[in-house]
Amino acid sequence: MIVGITGYNFTSEGVQGYSVNDHPGSNLPPYGGGGSVSCCVSLPAEWRPGLTVNVGWAIGHYTEPWEKRKSMTLQEETQCCWKERTLHKTVPLERYGKEGGRAQVFFLPNDAIKVYVTNYDLDHEKHPSGMAYPEKPQSTE
């Protein structure tokens, strides 16, 4: 089956871009995502144990506050204050049904990845993850 790709970012770093089996998804802000669906990745019609996908992504953040960077050119800002990492993992596909859906890539803390195939959005009681939409933690300062 051919399914669209969407992502959810549960981290404080922006996902600058990602791919599933070399098919690109979009960028994702910190604690965001889910709005854009990219086309497409081919998956078996039936889930089976041991089924995996290859996920690649670039994740990054600024190391200095906007007040310090605001008068810099983009090149200066990038050289001074941007930290980015490129990662690749082979991850198991969570169990999915014959109804298919979208490949939903979850970017989790500590560079963990989960991939669900479902028609349900986050916050829906039947979403297989049982998770809610990503939210920025409340500051304790």
What kind and span of H or E run contains 80?
Answer: helix 74-81
* Residue among 133, 104, 127 nearest 20 (CA): 104
Ranges 64-68, 75-79, 117-121, 137-141: which has the least confidence: 137-141
Give the CATH number of domain 2-58+88-118; options: 2.40.128, 3.40.50, 2.60.120, 2.60.40: 2.60.40
Mean pLDDT of the chain: 87
Question: Where are the chain's structural domains?
Answer: 2-58+88-118
Q: What are the tokens at 11?
A: 């981290």
pLDDT digits (tens, 9 = 90+) for 21-44: 999 888 888 888 876 777 888 999
Q: Give me the pLDDT at residue 108, please.
A: 94
What does the alpha-carbon distance between residue 5 and residue 117 come to, in Å, rounded to a whole number?
9
pLDDT over threshold 80, residue 14: yes
pLDDT band at 10 (very low <50, low <70, confident <90, very high): very high
